[in-house]
Structure 1
Amino acid sequence: MKESPGTSRICPALKSFFSDKMGGILHHCNGTSKCRRLDPKLEKKLVESIKRRASSGKNTFRSINSIIMRFPQFKEGLRKIKGVFERYDEDSNGTIDREELKKCLETLQLHLTGKEIEDLFQSCDVDGEEGIQFNEFIVLLCLIYLLMEPSSPHPTSKMGSELEATFNTIVEAFLFFDKNGDGKLNRKEMVKAMNEASPWERSPGHITKTRFKELDSNKCGQVSFKEFLFALINWVGFETDNEEELSI
């Protein structure tokens, strides 16, 4: 069957890659009972920041395919965050403890209260090991980036334009799925996002439902930005790549 002019189709390789990644998404969070929620006040501030982003109408993503094509840029940004993580993991044990995190935030001039730092530490330490691992560190910094809104650009922050650009792109990926801009994802939005660019190749309903359940780690019927961010790290496959590099 011929395609009409101007239409785009997800190539088989990318479609397979997307399906495989979505099939394994968020196992890190599903494998533990420690997926803590943020403090309600911080969660409210986070949602408000995402809503402001949504209301701006600025988003470079128009399809699942466009997100997948940006994976190399995602990975490059994550490598830069990895460098920050290793710099402040002073004892090189693969985790950042509270004191190391405090030094990191002080150096980056990210000014949060002690309670805010502790709540972020607890909510991002999903395996309860009392230390922030790299993927948890990505989530923590991205949450801080959003919580510092609307003072962007942050004249007193030393997070750096490259890191902020990475976090901004991650937020745009989330907003691609968040069709109503309420700061949460529901199954209806996910179905629309996965199918709107390729209506002739709609994902079977049971598959989309399964994928959403995998994202919804606390089974509340909605996917928070934090849940999505943990998923995206797995989706991009950054940790897998690093493990392969170490084994060579």
Structure 2
Amino acid sequence: MSLLNANDLYQIFRKLDKNGDGFVSLAELNWPLEKIGVQLSVEELEPLVGKPSLDFNEFLFFYDSISKRSINSMSYEVQEEEEAAEESDLVKAFEVFDLNGDGFISCEELQHVLSSLGLWDENSGRDCRTMIHVYDTNLDGQLDFEEFKNMMFLAIA
């Protein structure tokens, strides 16, 4: 998925090829990079490009590889933002259950919140200790945030 078509890239290639030899040297390639704030010396640029100059086909390949990296980087950033928002929502949900703010959800806190939401019936035979025990990986009798997060992800799956 290229942001520019081959004709656009050919026009850019011709503009960069200042001496008209059919190749874009590293110095010629570095000029627009500096203009957009990428500060690299020709020596630093050469390992990235892999050779001292590029013909048009190599220039197309170079552009395509940079475009893919950029798109993948943007995709990764969007994914990180979504994960951060999801984590923030989980923190808020955890805080609803952690009534005393000690960083743990006890059996009493779980029962109180479920009762206030109308999701707990003393006659149902459910036991908060059993519910917590299922996700209590360190066996301390309460849920910390990581255990709560695992519980929520397993409940959704």
TM-score, structure 1 length as denominator? 0.30
TM-score, structure 2 length as denominator? 0.43
Q: Which has the higher contact order (CA 8 A, sep 6+)?
A: 1
